[in-house]
Every structure is written in structure tokens, then in C-alpha cells.
Structure 1
Amino acid sequence: MTSLRADAAARRALILDAADHVFGQHGVTAPLDLVVERAQVGRATLYRNFPDRAALIEALLQRTVDRIRRHVAELGERDDALFELLQDMARRIIDSPALADYWRAVHPDDPTVKVARETVRGLLEAPIQRAIAAGLCRPDLSSTDISLISGMLGAALRGKTRDERAVLARRALQLLRGGLQGNLGAEA
């Protein structure tokens, strides 16, 4: 029974990886047959795991939240964890532009997205407070600013290729880091 569950979990992860790739290449409205083809599973397997496109996208969003949760745990009590997490957000925008665009475009009151955003804000609260306490960022930064920061990083979506998005994301991170530090450099 355990090996069957492991197989099912592996197939589900394979489908999510395929969807992430396909949506990154063709947008979230890409034909789901492309996901089936990339994952090398049958249509029935796709629909057994994800009854529709919305369920597939919801699972991708949840996987992103889970990755952030794991990354926060891996970084532990590091004072600079906030900046590492922002770099990871930028990488996700570079690698999964369609999902990042979907995350930004969906109405903020959509229940799934609302819970995901609130969870991410909660996860980033401690890293923000540590960065403030260590003097790494301005004291008025709060977890509610994360949506604004995410939107600024989202400007990298203007890049048509992965390389263009990487250049834009790198520059956005440079500007954000300066802005997050505020007047800290002038006081030193």
C-alpha cells in the first residue's frame, strides 16, 4: 500500500512539474494535453489528480507556498533570511512567469489566493523582524509590504525570455535592497 501511495505522489509531482514547465512556456491557458504529454501520463491520470485547470493551478500555488515554508525553515534564524527569500521569489518569477503572473492577476479576494498570500505574509514576519533587529532593513517594513515587493519583482515579467527576466529581476532586487535599507547607510 505504501509503494502505491509513493507512486501516486510521484505521479502527482511529475504532473505538477510538467504543468509548471508548460505554463511557463505557453501560459496558464495552455492545452492540458501538453501537460499530459510532458508528464508522460494518461489524461485519466491527470484528471484523477486534478479535476480541472483551476485545481492544477491551485496545487501549483500551494506547492509554491510549501517551498517558501521549507526555505524559511532551512534559513533558520539567519538575519539576512528576508533577502534570501526575496531572491528566491525572483527566481520563481524568472522560472515560472505564467504562474507568477497568475498569482498577481487573480483577484485578491479569491479564497485560494487570499489564503496563500496571508500564509506567505505570516511566513515572512519573523525574517522581517530579524532583518530589522539586525539593522539590515528599515524599521517600518512590515509583512503587509510583501505584496508590494512582490509586485515590484513582478516587473521582471516584462522580459520576453528567461534571460531578459533574469536581468530585470536582478535589477529589481538591487533597487529593492537599497529601498529596504532606507537611510541605514547614511546613519553609519
Structure 2
Amino acid sequence: MTTLRSDAALRREQILDAADAVFAAHGITAPLDLVVAQAGVGRATLYRNFPERAALVEALFDRALAQLELEHGGADFFVLLEAVALRIVAAPALADYWRALDAVSTARGPGERIARLFRAPLAKAVRSGSCRADLKPADMPLVCGMLGATLRGSSPARRRALVKRTLDLLAAGVAAWPER
């Protein structure tokens, strides 16, 4: 029984890896047959794991957030912001997914998870005076959406340059304002 479960988990990861690569190369609307071919699994295996495209993309989003939480959960606010930006550049499908969410769904689910990810680093940055006092965890899904706009570059190098510029602008925007 354990072998079946580990095999199923391996196939699920193969599908997610393939979807990440296919969506990065062809966009989030790429034919799922490309994902099946890249993963080396049958169509039935894909649909048994992910009954619809949205479930597949949500799983990619969850996996990316879990990785960010693991690697940068306790990081400095600006380090975490940069890590999120670079992840968005590396996985454009996640930014497409983020833009597809409506205002209601960003209030819970992925939006709440992003807010939780930033809660402690943001609180620390506000306490230290490096971030403006009115910046709240609930603002972070909006900030991530702004970072997603960096995907308009025509190449990975151009997108990285746009991310750097966006981060520079965002850093100035979220920095603590001097007393007036």
C-alpha cells in the first residue's frame, strides 16, 4: 500500500513539474496534452489527480507558496518580497492565475495565505520603522499583483530587470515616510 501511495505522489509531482514547465513556455492556456506528454503519464492519470485545469494551477500555486514559506517564512520583509517577485518571474502561470482570481477569492484562500506569509516579516519591518505604518498583511496580495505586472518583458532577462525596477519602486512606496 505504501508503494502505491509513493508512486501516486511521484506521478502527481511529475505532473506539477511538467505543468510548471509547459505553462512557463506556452502560457496557462496551453493544451493539457502538452502537460501529459511532458510528464510521461496518461491523460487519465492527469485527470485523476487534477479533474480540471483550475485544480492543476491551484496546486502549482499552493506548491509555490509552500516553497516560499519553507525557504523564506521568517525572512526579512524585503528579502521575502524579492523572493516572491523572483518566483513570479520563474513561474508566469502563477501570475496569470493570480490575475484570474476575482476580488472575492483573493480575500480568502490564496490571498489570505499570502497575507499570512508576510504577517510576521511585515510586523517586524513596521516596528523597526523600515515600512510605513499603514501597510497591512491584507495589502500584500495587491503588492503581489503589482509584481505580476513585471511579466510583460519579452525575455527572462528583461522580466528580471523589470522585477528589479518594480522592487525599487515598491520599496520606496512601502518605506516609512518621514514626519511631515
TM-score, normalising length: structure 1: 0.86
Partners of 1:93 and 1:100 within 8 A in 2: yes
Match of 2:144 among 150, 153, 174: 150
1:125 and 2:146 aligned = no
Show the counterpart of 2:96.
101
Contact 1:101 1:157 in 2 (8 A): no
SS of alignment partner, residue 114 of structure 1: coil
Given that 1:108 and 1:114 are in contact with CA atoms closer than 8 Å, whether structure 2 keeps it comes out as no
Give the Cα–Cα distance (whole angstroms) in 1 for the partners of residues 118 and 151 of structure 2: 23
Task: Identify the residue that residue 66 of structure 2 maps to in structure 1.
Answer: 66
> Which consecutive unaligned segments of at least 5 residues does structure 1 have?
none
SS in 2 for 1:137: coil
2:16 maps to 16
CA distance in 2, matches of 1:71, 1:116: 18
Partner amino acid, structure 2, of 1:175? L
How far does residue 42 in structure 1 lie from its aligned partner after superposition? 1.6
Partner of 1:180: 174
C-alpha deviation, 1:173, in angstroms: 0.8
Shift of 1:72: 4.3
Partner Cα distance (1:108, 1:114) in 2 = 10
The superposition leaves residues 100-141 of structure 1 with CA deviations (integer Å, 9 ceiling, x where unpaired) of 122123212248x83111121122111100111222222221
Question: Do 1:20 and 1:99's aligned partners in 2 also have CA atoms closer than 8 Å?
Answer: no
For 2:33, the equivalent position in structure 1 comes to 33
TM-score, scaled relative to structure 2? 0.89
Q: Percent identity?
A: 49
For 1:135, the equivalent position in structure 2 comes to 129
- In structure 2, runs of 5+ residues without a counterpart are none
Structural RMSD (CA): 2.1
Note if contact 1:131-1:137 (Cα within 8 Å) is conserved in structure 2: yes
Deviation at 1:67, TM superposition (A): 2.2
CA distance in 1, matches of 2:103, 2:67: 21
1:5 Cα deviation (Å)?
1.5
- Aligned residue pairs, count: 180
Question: 8 Å contact 1:71–1:85 — kept in the other structure?
Answer: no
